[in-house]
Amino acid sequence: MDKKSQILEAAMRCFSQKGYRATSIQEIADTLGIAKGSLYFYFKSKEDLLASIIKQYIDKMMDEFWAIVRDESLPARERLYRQQVQSFRYYQNNKDFIRLLMQERLDLHDQLFELVYSVRYQTLSGIQQLLTDIYGEASVPYSVDAATVYIAMSNEYMTYMILDQGWVELDEERLARHLLNWLDDVMQGMLKRGEDPLLRPEKLLAMAEARDMHKPLWKKEALTELQTIRSLLESSGLAAETLDEMISSTVTIEEEIDRDLPRPVVVKGLIALLKKVKKAEIKKHIARLEQLLAHRPYA
């Protein structure tokens, strides 16, 4: 595990145990046995650290979500069932941190708000696709309404599992089966009544396009390359001062990539600095990063 991942893991434990506001950067550094200043090579502030934890959590959750939803070796109903069980278990395994986020009512800055909004869209879109496969062409006009009701039911039971643990005991597999049965009732009722849907599928697509919910593949790959470069730098044996400078450069490039309007001159200058490292493996990943950034939309 690279240094940045170690910091995120330690911070998540500290926040879960003491609360976000009650935890200091110094306490996180002490947990890792490193100097407080070392954390600032990776994160600008405690707020930035929390945002990174949430982003990591969301990215992992959505990767697992789409892996199941897109597994066409399984029938659509089985995919929906497995996705629901996996989702319940993922929340259960991270319940302390989720409870922290729910109870402390943390403010989300704009970038993180957009990430959370993207999760809403992706979840709704994925469930809607499965519903059309399960219930057939006649269900398409009602698929977004039905997906909205299904997600609302799921989220409410998720809240019971996280906040009311000890009072409410729920088995993930049994609950997932019940939700699918209730979904049958919802969809059959909509089809039987034949009323105009409240949310049509084309509105879902328009919403996504309006808010630019589709994260470009180049950006995801570029961030992965940066993480790899950072990990290789940490084990490269570079002098401490040089290592700090290079790590700081990767962090700044990452920040620029995530900006609404990245500054090409800044990114190119930092890439040139990284190229001074003569390690073959690192140079290979820097070349790949440069190739990805050459096709960025702000070139």
Judge if 81 and 207 occupy the same domain: yes
Judge if 264 and 136 occupy the same domain: no
Last residue of a domain, one of 211, 238, 271: 211
- Mean pLDDT, the chain, rounded, equals 84
For the chain, what percent of residues have pLDDT higher than 90?
34
Judge if 77 and 177 occupy the same domain: yes
Does residue 244 register a pLDDT over 80? Answer: yes
**Is 299 inside any structural domain?**
no
The pLDDT tens digits for 37-72 are 888 888 888 888 888 888 888 888 888 998 999 888
One DSSP character per residue, 189-220 reads: HHHHH-PPPSS-HHHHHHHHHHHT-S--HHHH
Summarize the confidence of residues 226-237 as an average pLDDT.
Answer: 89
Q: Which residue has the higher pLDDT, 195 or 93?
A: 195
Using CA atoms, how far apart are residues 200 and 262, in angstroms rounded to an integer? 35
Place of tokens 């259960």: 92
Does residue 215 register a pLDDT over 70? Answer: no
Range of the domain at 190: 48-211
**Is 277 inside any structural domain?**
yes
**Is 52 inside any structural domain?**
yes
Here the tokens at position 154 are 């799921």
Judge if 63 and 26 occupy the same domain: no
Q: What is the pLDDT of residue 107?
A: 59
If we measure between CA atoms, which residue out of 158, 66, 56 comes closest to residue 115?
56
- The domain spanning residue 163 has which CATH number? 1.10.357
If we measure between CA atoms, which residue out of 51, 50, 6 comes closest to residue 31?
6
**Is 285 inside any structural domain?**
yes
Q: Which residue has the higher pLDDT, 56 or 211?
A: 56
Judge if 204 and 229 occupy the same domain: no
Summarize the confidence of residues 194-214 as an average pLDDT.
Answer: 72
Q: How confident is the model at residue 297 (pLDDT cuts 50, 70, 90)?
A: very low
Direct distance between the N- and C-terminal alpha carbons of the chain, in angstroms, rounded to an integer: 33
Judge if 137 and 255 occupy the same domain: no
Judge if 113 and 199 occupy the same domain: yes
Judge if 154 and 281 occupy the same domain: no
Judge if 191 and 56 occupy the same domain: yes
Judge if 145 and 246 occupy the same domain: no
pTM, two decimals, is: 0.67
Q: What total number of domains does the chain contain?
A: 3
The pLDDT tens digits for 97-132 are 777 777 666 555 655 667 777 788 889 988 998 999
10 Å Cβ neighbour count for 124? Answer: 20
Does residue 145 register a pLDDT over 60? Answer: yes
**Is 145 inside any structural domain?**
yes
**Is 170 inside any structural domain?**
yes
Using CA atoms, how far apart are residues 179 and 147, in angstroms rounded to an integer? 12
- The domain spanning residue 16 has which CATH number? 1.10.10.60
- Please list, in sequence order, all residues whose beta carbon lies within 8 angstroms of the beta carbon of residue 131, skipping any fewer than 6 positions away: 80, 139, 143, 146, 147, 150, 183, 187
Last residue of a domain, one of 211, 237, 267: 211
Here the tokens at position 293 are 């950034």
DSSP 43: -
Last residue of a domain, one of 170, 185, 211: 211
Using CA atoms, how far apart are residues 123 and 87, in angstroms rounded to an integer? 11
**Is 156 inside any structural domain?**
yes
